[in-house]
Amino acid sequence: MGRTKSGKNDTGLGGAGSSSLSPSTNDNSNGAPSTAQPETRIRELLKELFGLVRDVQEERSRGEHNLINISKTHERMQQESRITPYYKNKLRGLYHTAMQDAETEAELLRKALDKITEIKSIRENRRHESDRPKQIMRRGVLMTMLQQNAVTLPLWVSKPGEKPPPLCGAVPADSNYICRTGDKVAARVRSQDGEENWILAEVVSFSPQTNKYDVDDIDAEEGKERHSISRRRVVPLPIWKANPETDPEALFAKGTLVLALYPQTTCFYRALIDSPPAGPQDDYSVLFEDTSYLEGYSPPLSVAQRYLIACKDDKKK
């Protein structure tokens, strides 16, 4: 199976939040005017972010004392080999306090992630509004950037009884979802030789009148490649990682047919899930369709949650 896109050889890629740690795109809760200059707003957000990080550390330090008390109480119970009403009541109170401490810390982390998301959004918008031509990245730099984007994707941690939102792990976007400028997507485009491929692309704009996206091929090694394609040929990538420990239903199950970004490339290919992530920071293990192997599939390869989507191909190529 060839690993090419538009006639190019693609080589060179190495292989927390709920409403809960969920990023927002328009956080003006601090009263800052929306007309603030980008650089001024970024400085304000960085200052607020610094304060939140400091608050998180202070809250964590306060909570450690209570956790030590919980551990010591359990040790005393083991030494006495009995559970008395006194210890039951004491542990109930200590665990209640620990849960409150954890929720306070989580809320601070959510706010910090909101600030980070807004900073990234401002910088992304400023880049797209610039008249400067798109920078051409060396292959190694591009692959490192893609890997970092996967690692830093926010983790969704659901509250009890809460379901993961759209675009969390394997949960698809709502049917009326419109990708924003700068969003990374999987786009089905036609190359000059007429072959269609799913590529990693960046949204430039969307036209409600034509129901089409303009997208740029993320691989700028040979210059900008812009495509105007229908909405049905664009699939948004996950914006949160699913937590296997709290939301296993938001992950693709073993044996599911998906489109996955092949390591060392910027193209998506059909693959079977060999095993889903075991932990929050783990990748999928997938088997790519490959006729050069007797079984028809490659050996297991690792692919980050960021770069897997439900298979949209009806026909096997």
The CATH number of whichever domain residue 280 belongs to comes to 2.30.30.140
Domain contains 207:
no
Domain contains 153:
no
Mean pLDDT of the residues in the chain:
82
Domain contains 11:
no
Taking residues 188-210, what's their average pLDDT? 90
Residue 15's pLDDT band, with cuts at 50, 70 and 90, is very low
Asked if residue 238 has pLDDT above 80, the reply is yes
pLDDT reported for residue 2? 42
Domain contains 163:
no
pLDDT reported for residue 221? 56
Work out how many domains the chain is built from and give that number.
2
Domain residue limits at 52: 37-132
pLDDT reported for residue 55? 92
Domain contains 262:
yes
Taking the C-alpha atoms of residue 105 and residue 62, their distance in angstroms, rounded to an integer, is 10
Last residue in a domain, options 103, 132, 161: 132
298, two tokens: 């490659």
Last residue in a domain, options 108, 132, 156: 132
Domain contains 218:
no
The pTM for the full model equals 0.69
Residue 114's pLDDT band, with cuts at 50, 70 and 90, is confident
Beta carbons within 8 Å of 22's beta carbon, 6+ residues apart: 110, 113, 154, 156, 165, 240
Domain contains 26:
no
pLDDT reported for residue 28? 45
Stronger pLDDT, 141 or 19, i.e. the higher one: 141
Domain contains 108:
yes
Give the torsion sign (CA, 272, 274, 279, 283).
Answer: negative
Q: Count other Cβ atoms within 10 Å, centred on residue 95.
A: 12
185, two tokens: 């997507």
Asked if residue 154 has pLDDT above 60, the reply is yes
What phi and psi, each to the nearest 5 degrees, are found at residue 49? -65, -40
Least Cα distance to 186 among 175, 173, 174, 242 occurs for: 173
* Each residue's pLDDT tens digit, 59-86: 888 889 889 999 988 888 888 887 888 8
Residue 282's pLDDT band, with cuts at 50, 70 and 90, is very high
**C-beta separation of 156 from 18 below 8 A:** yes
Dihedral over alpha carbons 247, 251, 255, 260 (to 10 degrees):
-170
pLDDT reported for residue 14? 34
Asked if residue 163 has pLDDT above 70, the reply is yes
Matching residue, tokens 């740029």 = 216
**C-beta separation of 305 from 250 below 8 A:** no
Last residue in a domain, options 87, 111, 132: 132
Q: Count other Cβ atoms within 10 Å, centred on residue 208.
A: 8
